Structure 1
Amino acid sequence: MTDLKPVVDPAPRWVTDLANPPPYKSKPASIPDPPGYSSQAVSGSSKKKDVSRPAPREQPSPEKMDQLKLKKAWEVALAPAKNLPMTLIMMYMSGNSLQIFSIMMVFMAFKNPIMGLLSTNQAFERFETDSNRGSILQVKAAYVLMQVLALAVGVWKINSMGLLPTTRSDWLAWEVRREPLEHAVPALSL
């Protein structure tokens, strides 16, 4: 009997490359290191890393925190105004006829601002402190104004669809429609 030995395939190339990484290539001196990165820490061997730790970030003062909170509150307050151009375009493109798409657009044009108005205090409670209460009140007023502008877009849309009762015939049942004095008929051209 012959002694059979199992055939062992050599390891794939990626395994050997993983075990023995290629040598570090130095970069040209004309390219500076990015902020917070030191090429000296990488150029050494992987066993001795000489990484200098950045200093811990100092906590901001209460005045700086109030300024930051006020800045973020203004971003929240002006967010509805950033949606207005897209809403206007969508309203214009949906047409003036009563279709499911235009009805859904009008519904959303009213639902979102009304829900925003009802949740005004919840939207700004995380930014409000005792020291910035007056400034947050101004931000809330701007937020309410932006929501009212969004509601005005919805009112414009239902008016253009003819759903607002703005003529006398909408209110008076006995009002008759005006009859024109003349009719224009296009001539047939042959």
Structure 2
Amino acid sequence: MEKGKGVMGSGRRWAVDFSDNSTAPSSRDIPDPPGFTRASVDQDDSNLTRQKKDAEANWKAQKAWEVAQTPFKNLLMMGFMMWMAGSTVHLFSIGITFSALWQPISALQGVGKVFEPYKDNKVDLLGPKLLFIALNLGGLALGVWKLNTLGLLPTHASDWVSSLSPAQEVEYSGGGISLQ
């Protein structure tokens, strides 16, 4: 074989012939070694796949519970930020309060998307979803409480005075003539 020429020729030094030789013994003709059965290999493979599926289901369940507990961290952070903002109405406290209201609302709208990666027939997502919803409702309640402390919720009768009808006049007074 000349240098620079292709390897098309039959003069190659290292080659593997994959052609079918019917005279060569097949793997079925060779007996298994003592103590080895092909059925046990198949059973071991099925056990391994079952163990892998169980491990994956356990991992998914653990991750789903971790995702369900993430709003708790947000609750603590948002509560601290609201406390730092104070109880006076100004731009910072209103921004923090509306952020505290918006985050749980948007999280509650996307509950299905949050737990989508963890869907499996072996994983029960009801508990993590309920915890996620409960913690987000707690965050929403924290935001509503802050609105109340800022005085932005109409909770007193004086907040509704404009919608009340005028009071009926019970007595009349008039200017009088002074007789002295």
Give the match for residue 116 of structure 1. Answer: 107
Give the match for residue 69 of structure 1. Answer: 60
Give the match for residue 41 of structure 1. Answer: none
- Return the match for 1:153 from 142, 149, 168: 142
Q: Which AA in structure 2 matches 1:108?
A: S
Taking the aligned partners of 2:113 and 2:61, their CA distance within structure 1 comes to: 15
Answering whether residue 100 of structure 2 is matched by residue 103 of structure 1, we say: no
Taking the aligned partners of 1:104 and 1:67, their CA distance within structure 2 comes to: 40
Matches within 5 A, 1:13-92: 61-92=52-83
Q: TM-score scaled to structure 1, two decimals? A: 0.57
Answering whether residue 129 of structure 2 is matched by residue 140 of structure 1, we say: yes
Taking the aligned partners of 1:164 and 1:86, their CA distance within structure 2 comes to: 23
Taking the aligned partners of 1:85 and 1:120, their CA distance within structure 2 comes to: 21
Matches within 5 A, 1:166-177: 166-173=155-162
Q: After superposition, what is the alpha-carbon deviation per residue over 1:73-127, rounded to whole angstroms, capped at 9, x for unaligned?
A: 1111100112212211110110122211111101110111111001100000000
Taking the aligned partners of 2:76 and 2:126, their CA distance within structure 1 comes to: 26
Q: TM-score scaled to structure 2, two decimals? A: 0.60
Q: After superposition, what is the alpha-carbon deviation per residue over 1:3-28, rounded to whole angstroms, capped at 9, x for unaligned?
A: xxxxxxxxxxxxxxxxxxxxxxxxxx
Aligned-pair identity (%): 37
Q: Which AA in structure 1 matches 2:125?
A: I
Select the structure of larger CA radius of gyration.
Answer: 2
Q: CA deviation at 1:131?
A: 2.1
Classify the secondary structure of the residue corresponding to 2:117: coil
Taking the aligned partners of 2:58 and 2:136, their CA distance within structure 1 comes to: 24
Q: CA deviation at 1:61?
A: 1.7
The structure whose residues are more often helix, as a share, is 2
Alignment RMSD (CA, Å): 2.0
Point out where structure 1 has 5 or more consecutive residues left out of the alignment.
1-57, 176-190
Taking the aligned partners of 1:171 and 1:130, their CA distance within structure 2 comes to: 53
Q: CA deviation at 1:145?
A: 0.5
- Return the match for 2:116 from 121, 125, 136: 125
Taking the aligned partners of 2:61 and 2:148, their CA distance within structure 1 comes to: 37
Q: CA deviation at 1:171?
A: 2.1
Classify the secondary structure of the residue corresponding to 2:125: helix
* Higher mean C-alpha deviation, range 165-174 or range 117-126: 165-174
Classify the secondary structure of the residue corresponding to 1:126: helix
